[in-house]
Structure 1
């Protein structure tokens, strides 16, 4: 439990002063207006010294649904109140925020800025913090961050696209969330995100408009804050998102800097992984279990855990003194271990005995021929021990081992995505997706493209749709909560 220390707040900052604080290289601010309670906005400073984990930068702008200065306390514990609330004079039922939230909104606080960018992509870095955590994560009280560029909403590139307590918490996008109910960090807010990023397409050389802010949803209680990093809204250096697909327990080295772009030639250096400062050789273990190691050449080696899941984390890089943040998404896909029996017209057959052309029973289309069998071997130790679904559980007729390590595992591919049966349990065939290029070696990709000429290994497009609706992380969380 840490003690409260007040950030330095300039609540008298004008709209132009706030705009010039958050806009950086490659952008010229033309004009700015602020809408909201005068106490709900401020330029903050000394973030690196007083609240380095909860602020995205040393200085920046804070917009709040309550009082901006309530983000930190002057004395006592850092987090003293589970429900800090101020009903401000900020506008209620702003049309943009209502449309974003799908219901009534209150106490809005936002900046509207006209600017001229040099590049065609505008990036920004920010932290969302809220007193709605953890009590109202699954409720209608979803205080929300809103960003519109030239009238169009800008979405987060992970999760369901929104920035609110339901999309980033201990269940959904948990690597991006920090729990502060134990007052371990210097902020009054009960929870906050790691430094996140939004990217928006803009028109270079012309006046563009951005509206950015925050609003209470469904009522005026329990305040939330948006902290925008100073100088982070820029077009000079853009870190782009990456993704990688792994078998559970496998490892992969990826070059996340390869698609990052700088307006001027520069050496790109990674400084943070998921908000933690790193150097060459540093390893960060995500809350979901994956280990991320920064190599000397700027690549990441990602070691998966034993779960089948899709998770994301962030990295921050610097070029010419300009920083930006991007997301990396890890897809850990299921597969079958040697000995798993697959249902065929002639009875159950061990997966390793199946060959291209063999018929397998599918739930929707009856017997269908196998078009491709993928096989790999990974290590099986400690927390990467085999995953067992015991006999009788979920209808399995004998123990089913799924995605274990240090054994052979197999992918089965058909003309279409299929539901098949393994040890009597309904499961799925392999579904090529947008990450196959990072999942397989070049010769395997060539084989797949030869079998499916319309398949684009860079995007995963061209194979066909999933046989069933694919739930996003937040949807799976809601379904799991309802079933439990």
Structure 2
């Protein structure tokens, strides 16, 4: 494979024109590097597929830009490529950003004019010889981008673009290990194509793009900026999704993207892999992402409590693209991803709508009158209760809010309380083995309300529907309380009277304890 062509004689203006879109006007540009450390690369898709963020773009390096690939022979022939170029050392601003001395800095400054304020984005790949040996060392070669004097954090992890934040153990989905020389670059590791998004002003703006060695001038690192990607027409904004353990959720990640192109958008890549409707990509962490025909994504989780990230590329069909981040908080919860039994089969709770029919234990299919959602920290009294599969009969694993009641059928209940079936709050069922409290991150609780209190089937387990009462005013914003009151005007929102009785007797905590003691004897 030939060497990636890099025109190291390109001027700063030529480099700026290569990476900027047509939606702003470039006023001037300057480059502060040794001549061999920057340039315009071409034929990236052919010569370094899977590495370069675009076919043409700009490369800034702490070494010689042409050493990004070899001229002949095997890929990645050395694990310690170093080419000290006598670039700028000890820039005080860069030292402060890195928290250490910096060396061989390369940076491009561009002044441009925008017709209006808005968001701007930049697609890039960070590649480094510091991988993998120095991932957690002091040698954190870094990339920094500032707009009008303010530096822009990456939307992932600790916000830094360096080996410590993106590697085989941290944000692993965004990292590519090249120590085996699979890809045509001399770099031992590199990131997926990522993005930085920032706000710009109407009028003149100043953009600075920096890469520098940290703590010494050895082991090269490079920044590759996609051609035409510094633009305002199409901005893929970051999405955060809460997903239950082994849960399924369908989401529209394009809903918050900025699209000034006038064209419809299509998702073309997930983590750099080409996709189309029906394609499924499995993340390194185990989650599966399927692209649907309507442009949504369906996520299928695994059984690990974790936070994972992936990227998607969106295209307007006319050559304008952007890359967006999706952060998935995977934790147990009676939330989006929990399947509810309906006459048409089991449906994820987040896909239910007002008016949809849900199967109930006592009254057959019943229409939903109201759906509520709230996201809270999964800590303390708000942490969800996870119930292992088949703990209370034949059902799948699920999680509930602490006060969400489960239908328990027990002969001792009939003896003690005169009812064989009782409702018990999930928190009162905790036994630290099959029923546990799980803390960490955030959780989104979903509530479905019917004309009467009902028993529904969540992951095949009989649980209660939402029962409005005194807790409603404390749990929801005033406008939500008003909404429920307008649906049920006969109900007293202070006491819950006027709505109807509980579907089964609800046990108090001390009654559950008594039931447990009798059953244990």
TM-score of the superposed pair, with normalisation by structure 1: 0.75
Equivalent position to 1:39, from 36, 39, 42: 36
Is it true that 1:218 corresponds to 2:215 in the alignment? Answer: yes
Please state if 1:82 is matched with 2:91.
no
- Candidates 447, 466, 476, aligned match of 1:453: 476
- The 5 A counterparts of 1:349-428 are 406-412=396-402, 423=432
Q: Is the Cα contact below 8 Å between 1:25 and 1:235 reproduced in 2? A: no
Q: 2:130 aligns with which of 129, 132, 137?
A: 132
Displacement of 1:373: 7.2
Secondary structure at the counterpart of residue 402 of structure 2 = strand
Confirm or deny that 1:269 pairs with 2:266.
Answer: yes
Instruction: Please list every run of 5 or more consecutive structure 2 residues that lacks an aligned counterpart in the other structure.
Output: 335-378, 405-426, 450-464, 481-521
1:236 aligns with 2:236: no
CA RMSD, Structure 1 to Structure 2 (Å): 3.2
In the TM superposition, what is the alpha-carbon distance from 1:441 to its structure 2 partner?
A: 6.2
Partner of 1:182: 180
User: What does residue range 203-214 of structure 1 map to in structure 2 within 5 Å?
Assistant: 203-204=201-202, 206-214=203-211
- Please identify the structure whose Cα radius of gyration is greater: 2
Aligned match of 2:319: 321
Q: Which residue of 1 aligns with 2:120?
A: 122
Q: Does 1:254 align with 2:264?
A: no
The alpha carbon displacement at 1:452 in A equals 2.2
Aligned length: 392
Q: 1:246 to 1:114 in 2, by over 3 A?
A: same
Gap change, CA 1:279 and 1:210, over 3 Å in 2: same
Distance change (3 Å), C-alpha of 1:432 and 1:6: closer
2-structure distance, mates of 1:446, 1:84: 65
Could you give the per-residue CA deviations for residues 206-248 of structure 1, whole angstroms, max 9, x where no partner exists? 1100110200000000000000000000011111111111111
Within 2, Cα distance between the matches of 1:137 and 1:372?
A: 34
Counterpart in 2 of 1:284? 281
Matched, 1:24 2:21: yes
Preserved CA contact (<8 Å) 1:251 1:301 = yes
Distance in structure 2 (CA, Å) of the matches to 1:450 and 1:374: 23
Give, in whole Å, the separation in 1 of the partners of 2:289 and 2:84: 43
1:283-337 deviation digits (Å, cap 9, x = unpaired) = 000101100000000100000111100000000101242100110011111469x
Question: Is 1:201 equivalent to 2:199 in the alignment?
Answer: yes
State the partner residue of 1:106.
Answer: 103
Preserved CA contact (<8 Å) 1:57 1:229: yes
Structure 1 residue 427: deviation in Å?
7.7
Deviation at 1:422, TM superposition (A): 5.4
Query: What is the CA–CA distance in structure 2 between the aligned matches of 1:300 and 1:315, rounded to whole Å?
Result: 10
Q: 1:55 to 1:371 in 2, by over 3 A?
A: closer
**In the alignment, which residue of structure 2 is the partner of 1:165?**
163
